[in-house]
Structure 1
Amino acid sequence: MYNLFLRIILLRSPSSVFSHGFSKSLLKSLRFLSTSSETVSSPKSSSLASNVVQINNNRKAVISFFENHGFSESQIFDIVKKVPLILSVNPETLFPILLFFQSKAELGTVEKTVATIKRFPRILGWNLSVGPNIELLKQIGVPDSNISTYLQGQPKIFLTSSVRFKEIVERVTEMGFSPQRLQFLVAVFALRSMTKSSWDKKVEVYRKWGLSEEEIRLAFRRHPMCMAFSEDKTNGVMDFFVNKIGCQSSFVARKPSLLSFSLKKKILPRGYIYQVLLSKGLIKKHANIPMFVKISENRFVEKFINPHKEQIPGLLELYEQKLMDSRR
């Protein structure tokens, strides 16, 4: 009952603090929270009064905990504003995950820890699964630097039940990924984002384009995120390269990173230029298709448009028009 009461109070009260601003220190603002009539008005029982005291003491303890571990007022403010319910947490439960972040998980600095919490605040409530999941990765040889990269950039990868996380890791290992490479975690992230039924549907999309089971597995090993795109996106890209450009479907399986580029904003405008140059005999069929898509905008104009301005007047204008059309 106390925990429910506490959560109700905290869900309401942070807005009171933030609406009044933080012209004074964070602790003074929180002191306002403790005495605000909006938070609790005239407790009618000793039990209710006792709960209020416990809530206020807990808030002070949480703030003190962060201060004692090197967090500045502004950093504490950022965390409390992002995760108001942090004020309801027993500080003792925060210590293991904070220790893990700053020493074991290679986040190292308070700044990186705050950034991670702000990016994905739910991680504070999942310390029981985060630790075992990272320990599992360490046990199989995933480098600390790779774990740190994903913990900072995509912390939700670790917010999975230990049982499911282990199943995903085992599956990725069976597929031939090396734990020493960052690609291993990319594959874990991709599989975590979908259910088995979602995976099966995406496999079926590739099968309809004539890819074998082995070709699909090869594509996933080379670029795991190729299985994370929507079925519409995959069909659109496959249709362009197979039906418009005339590539074999196996070509895309060998170059699955092509699927990561925007069909509308990059593949189609540049594909148009490819078809124009091909029709004029200025390039060979299927030559440098990955480069056509991957290189920077300036490099694309420099390499594929400027050299052919004289042979094809208005080529740059045609390309720019295609780019404008893609933004509509």
Structure 2
Amino acid sequence: MATATLRSVLRRNGLLPLFETHRLRDLLFFSSSVDPAAAVGGTISPDPHFMVKYLVSSCGFSPTEAAKVSKPLAHLRATEKPDAVLNFLRSQGFDGAGIRKVISADPRYLCYNVEKNLASKFQFLRDLGLSESDIVDVIWNNHEILCRNVHRSLVPKLEMWESLLGSRELVLKRLKKTGWFFFPSVEKTLHPNLKFLRDECGIPEERVSVVLRSHPKLISQKPESLRALVARADELGMPRQSRMFMWTLDVFHNVSKERFEAKVELMRSFGWSESEFSSAVMKAPTFLCISLDMLRRKVEFFINVVGFTPSFIADKPNLLLYSLQKRVIPRFRVTEMLKSKGLWTGQGKFTCILTLSDTKFTEKFVLPHKENVPELLDILRVAGVCKGK
């Protein structure tokens, strides 16, 4: 009766054609006494804000968070797909926090078809030998896996990374800790970068792989960015044939030109020449990753306390890589105390003493004197090196 009356009113006013679309059907549908949820197996609502309420009640978002997350979902009026997605994620071991992180990363995942869009990705990860908890970690850090095609995207990237890192175990280890691993394109990024390093720079793939096992992100940057790093290394005078060349590229990837110049100025203030600075970088490029303040403190200690000259430090830049608080200062204090008590003649260079492992240093310089000079153990305990020997 209500339907006939509404049609009659619309026809008299010439408006019926405007409502003979899905909009009229929606109006009539929601005004009927039939429960629409029964037809689709979920909740259907005409309330434009119902997804906010849904995200609060079903996922545990705060109202503010839900309002933000719901924006890409404003078109939804039913919870059938979101219900299915949430149930699936829970069945795969995701807790509330994990689900919120995934949905926050891309709320459109709630619109996915579980069988077509999600199940295959989880099966792909299971086939790699990952446990349920591992898979949760991988998706947590690499949620984009969920929107990638298994055969066109995930498999080629997996194979490429296996080739670069040398084993699937290393790939899976990175997958569980890294949030960008499946993002770079094989065709547009990984292949061009590898080809450039191999064919134009003359760097063997094995040497590239050695660096990538520790710092895989180096190969994942835009090709033009990698070329810019090579140009910086060339400008420094680093030979491309050097085993330090790839490490220098990795350092430059993490150290901006501004930070680099600041360190040039710092070391110049201590008396390093331009050639000494370049030589030091070629021998131990990773010292450039040390903060400006810590680098200053290390150089000042070696010059003012130990008695090294700036040129000596430039010739042995590995000295700058040792921890000042945990290795350099405590070992210097131990050797100086032994000297003052006549228990060590000072034979053996301090540079060699710094290269010893904590165990070797303790066995050689501390334990033989622990009865006569118990303070030696205290020095190491304060530094956090020795725990109760």
TM-score range, shorter chain: 0.7 to 0.9
Instruction: Report if aligned partners of 2:255, 2:288 keep a CA contact under 8 Å in 1.
Output: no
1:146 matched to 2:200? The reply is no
Q: CA deviation at 1:165?
A: 1.0
Which residue, out of 76, 80, 91, partners 2:139?
A: 80
Instruction: Report if aligned partners of 1:106, 1:144 keep a CA contact under 8 Å in 2.
Output: no
Query: Partners in 2 of 1:15 and 1:289 — Cα distance?
Result: 61
Q: Note the aligned Cα RMSD (angstroms).
A: 3.7
Instruction: Report if aligned partners of 2:271, 2:310 keep a CA contact under 8 Å in 1.
Output: yes
- Secondary structure of 1:86's counterpart equals helix
Instruction: Report if aligned partners of 1:211, 1:249 keep a CA contact under 8 Å in 2.
Output: yes
Greater shift, 268-277 or 254-263, is seen at 268-277
Which residue, out of 381, 384, 388, partners 1:324?
A: 381
Q: Return the letter of the residue paired with 1:162.
A: P
Instruction: Report if aligned partners of 2:198, 2:204 keep a CA contact under 8 Å in 1.
Output: yes
1:124 matched to 2:185? The reply is no
Partner of 1:97: 157
Gap regions ≥5 residues in structure 2: 1-71
- Secondary structure of 1:304's counterpart equals helix
Show CA shifts across 1:89-141 (max 9, x none): 23323343223123x425343x3322222232302112242332222222223
Q: CA deviation at 1:17?
A: 5.8
- Secondary structure of 1:123's counterpart equals coil
Identity of matched residues, % = 23
Q: How does 1:1-328 map to 2 (within 5 A)?
A: 20=90, 22=92, 52=111, 54=113, 57-63=116-122, 65=124, 70-72=127-129, 74=131, 76-91=135-150, 92-102=152-162, 104-109=163-168, 111-127=169-185, 128-139=188-199, 140-179=201-240, 181-279=242-340, 282-284=344-346, 287-305=348-366, 309=369, 314-315=372-373, 317-327=374-384
Instruction: Report if aligned partners of 1:190, 1:228 keep a CA contact under 8 Å in 2.
Output: yes
Sort the Cα spacing of 1:58 and 1:213 in 2 relative to 1 into closer, same or farther, 3 A. Answer: same
TM (norm. structure 1) is 0.74
Show CA shifts across 1:17-71 (max 9, x none): 66x4647xx9xx9xxx9xxxxx8xxxxxxxx9xx93556522234345556xx52
- Secondary structure of 2:277's counterpart equals helix
Query: Partners in 1 of 2:159 and 2:356 — Cα distance?
Result: 42
- Secondary structure of 2:272's counterpart equals coil
Q: CA deviation at 1:174?
A: 4.5
Gap regions ≥5 residues in structure 1: 34-38, 40-47
Q: Return the letter of the residue paired with 2:179.
A: P
Show CA shifts across 1:264-292 (max 9, x none): 1111111112333455674358x512112
Query: Partners in 2 of 1:99 and 1:198 — Cα distance?
Result: 36
Query: Partners in 1 of 2:278 and 2:195 — Cα distance?
Result: 27
Q: CA deviation at 1:200?
A: 0.7
Partner of 1:43: none
Query: Partners in 2 of 1:142 and 1:136 — Cα distance?
Result: 9
Q: Return the letter of the residue paired with 2:290.
A: F
- Secondary structure of 1:239's counterpart equals helix
Sort the Cα spacing of 1:126 and 1:318 in 2 relative to 1 into closer, same or farther, 3 A. Answer: same
Partner of 2:67: none
Instruction: Report if aligned partners of 1:115, 1:152 keep a CA contact under 8 Å in 2.
Output: no
Partner of 2:26: none
Query: Partners in 2 of 1:146 and 1:115 — Cα distance?
Result: 21
Q: CA deviation at 1:78?
A: 4.6
Query: Partners in 2 of 1:137 and 1:182 — Cα distance?
Result: 13
Query: Partners in 1 of 2:82 and 2:136 — Cα distance?
Result: 16
Q: CA deviation at 1:76?
A: 4.7
Show CA shifts across 1:185-208 (max 9, x none): 221111111111111111111111
Query: Partners in 2 of 1:65 and 1:178 — Cα distance?
Result: 43
Q: Return the letter of the residue paired with 1:296.
A: S
Show CA shifts across 1:226-278 (max 9, x none): 11101111111111110011111111111111111111111111111233345
Instruction: Report if aligned partners of 2:366, 2:377 keep a CA contact under 8 Å in 1.
Output: no
- Secondary structure of 1:250's counterpart equals helix
Q: CA deviation at 1:84?
A: 2.8
